Structure 1
Amino acid sequence: MILVTGGFGFIGSHTVRALLDLGEDCIAVQRRAHELPPVLDGTRVKVERVDITDRDALLAVGRRHTITGIVHLAGSYPWPPVPDAPVEATRKALDGLLNVTQAAQEWGVRRLGIASTIGVYVGTDNSAPLREDAPLPMTAPASIPTFKKVGEMLGGFIADTTGLDIVDYRISGTWGPLGHPDPFFAAPALIHAAARGTDPDLSHLVHPAFAEDGLDLTYVKDTGRAIALLQLADSLNHRTYNVGTGRATTNAQISRAIRKSVPDARVDLPTGGAASHLVLDISRLKEDTGYQPEYDTERAAADYIAWLRAGHDS
């Protein structure tokens, strides 16, 4: 049985669904009480309401269930940043990560997977697809990549000293059902505007959006399936894996894909933007799991718009 922290979250719920579809039993661990996400309706998923920063409560889950693997997707970072209590926020973030690794050790799980981010590559040479063995700068521009770098280093130390099989997922920009307005890319906001027939609200973005801005964007169903394949692989040859599409998707491409489903969508963005894009090399992922992305931009946009028009809020 695979335990997924953050199992009702955006990527978490799709990962649980992918694991179930591959024949695994799953426990979704969630800090707050929520209704079952729509993507899990009718499934056999078990649910445990546990705050992973509560070590005793988390360890007790292993006394109620036989846990064979852990996928750790709950946020191990303070987001949004907490400027008035940074030390306490940092302590809670690290407590969650360390509690999960302690649980993995005590339960004797086969593999512990931990979510990282494409953001760890910011500041590296991105003139070619980014490989997992690229040297990373010691600094980071925001809390998420900062804590993910720390988490990767701590995970490596724990794996080396305990023998735990710990795998890091460097996840690309991800969009799709149950997502939210992302502060770093415009695709979800453009999709929501098209589905509602309104102008897109991009006020939440960290930087203004331009047509030529791009990023390795992965539809969440592909992200969840990639993580599930990494968790279930008989053996892995590496500790770190990029999870993405291996190509850049620009806002202009998103807009064109949207218009295939909604011809009158008001999703044009001004020209301009960054000439270079963060793109992940996913050779390791393909070679060790057989993964191939199933959703190109056009199929993803159509699927997401249909989901929203079916009455879902996100």
Structure 2
Amino acid sequence: MILVTGGLGFIGSHTVRALLDFGESCVLVQRRAGEAPADLAGGQVVIEQADITDLSTLLDVGARHEITGIVHLAYSMPWPPAAEQPVEQTRKALGGLLNVMQAAQDWGVRRVGVASTIGVYSGVTAEGPLREDMPLPLTAPHVIPTFKKIGEMLNDHLAGVTGIEVVNHRISGTWGPRDPHGAMFFAAPELVHAAVNGTEPDLSTLFGPAYAEDSIDLCYVKDTARAIALLQLADRLDHRTYNVGAGRATTNAEIIAAIKRVVPDARIELPTGGTGRQDHLDITRLQQDTGYKPEYDTERSVADYIAWLRAGNEY
């Protein structure tokens, strides 16, 4: 049975679906009570309400279920960041990660997959695809990559001293059904929402203006989830860190073109003037060790997401 922290969340719920499709059963650990999405109903899924920052309640889950693997997708960072009690927030964030590792050790779990982010590459100036063996700057521009870098170093240490196989998943820009973030780091989700709603996109939450040429390794959530499931279930992995993405850069212009094939009158134009830099993840390790291949190109991703929203789903 695979324990998935954050299993009712955006990437978590899709990862559970992927694990079920591979024949696994799952325990979903959530801090707040919740119901499984309709597409998980009838599957081999158990939902447990437990806070990963409370070690005793987390360990109790293992007393009720035989846990063979862990996929840790819940936040191990101060989120949302707040000015109040920053030291305590940091202690709880790192404590949650350490509790997951303690549980893995106590339960005799062989492999723990931990969500990291493409953001750890911030500051890398080398040309070409972003590779897992690239040296990373110690600094980071945001709390998420800051704590993911810290987490990766802790994971490497703990893997060495405990013998647990700890695998870092450097996840690219993921989007699709159940994405609650909107235009947090990139424009694509809001462009789709605006097209479906018949409005102009509100991109004011981005760090800067959005341009047609702006690009990111944009991976549809169903592909992200399948990659995570493959990394969890592979008989053998030759590395501790894997890029999880599409392996190519997608521009806003490509997203807009795909949207207009489905919604021709969408009011989603963006100005030109971007840098044209096309950073993307090298997913060679992932492909070689798991056989992963993205199934959702830009057009299929956009069409699937629009259909999801038009079916009455909120996001």
Matched residue SS, 1:178? coil
Match of 2:194 in 1: 193
Q: Does structure 2 retain, via aligned residues, the 8 Å contact 1:126–1:276? A: no
**Aligned pair in 2 of structure 1 residues 7, 33: CA closer, same or farther (>3 Å)?**
same
In structure 1, give the amino acid aligned to 2:25.
D
Matched residue SS, 1:166? strand
Distance in structure 2 (CA, Å) of the matches to 1:135 and 1:155: 17
In structure 2, give the amino acid aligned to 1:3.
L
Matched residue SS, 1:167? strand
Match of 2:165 in 1: 165
Cα deviations across residues 67-102 of structure 1 (Å, max 9, x unaligned)?
000000000111222122211110110010000000
Match of 1:15 in 2: 15
**Aligned pair in 2 of structure 1 residues 307, 111: CA closer, same or farther (>3 Å)?**
same
Matched residue SS, 1:57? helix
User: Which residues of 2 match residues 36-75 of structure 1 at below 5 A?
Assistant: 36-75=36-75
Distance in structure 2 (CA, Å) of the matches to 1:39 and 1:272: 41
Q: 1:110 Cα deviation (Å)?
A: 1.7
Q: Does structure 2 retain, via aligned residues, the 8 Å contact 1:127–1:276? A: no
In structure 2, give the amino acid aligned to 1:51.
D
Tell me the C-alpha RMSD between the 2 structures: 1.0
Cα deviations across residues 268-297 of structure 1 (Å, max 9, x unaligned)?
111111221320000000000000000000
TM-score, length-normalised on structure 1? 0.98
Match of 1:212 in 2: 213
User: Which residues of 2 match residues 121-136 of structure 1 at below 5 A?
Assistant: 121-136=121-136
Q: 1:23 Cα deviation (Å)?
A: 0.3
Distance in structure 2 (CA, Å) of the matches to 1:96 and 1:164: 17
Q: Does structure 1 retain, via aligned residues, the 8 Å contact 2:24–2:44? A: no
In structure 2, give the amino acid aligned to 1:272.
G
**Number of residue pairs the alignment of both structures matches:** 314
User: Which residues of 2 match residues 1-314 of structure 1 at below 5 A?
Assistant: 1-180=1-180, 181-314=182-315
In structure 2, give the amino acid aligned to 1:240.
T
Structure 2 unaligned residues grouped into runs of 5+: none
Distance in structure 2 (CA, Å) of the matches to 1:206 and 1:92: 27
Q: Does structure 2 retain, via aligned residues, the 8 Å contact 1:194–1:265? A: yes
Cα deviations across residues 99-135 of structure 1 (Å, max 9, x unaligned)?
0000001101120000000000010124200110000
Q: 1:194 Cα deviation (Å)?
A: 1.0
Larger mean CA deviation between 164-173 and 39-48 belongs to: 39-48
Structure 1 unaligned residues grouped into runs of 5+: none
TM-score, length-normalised on structure 2? 0.98
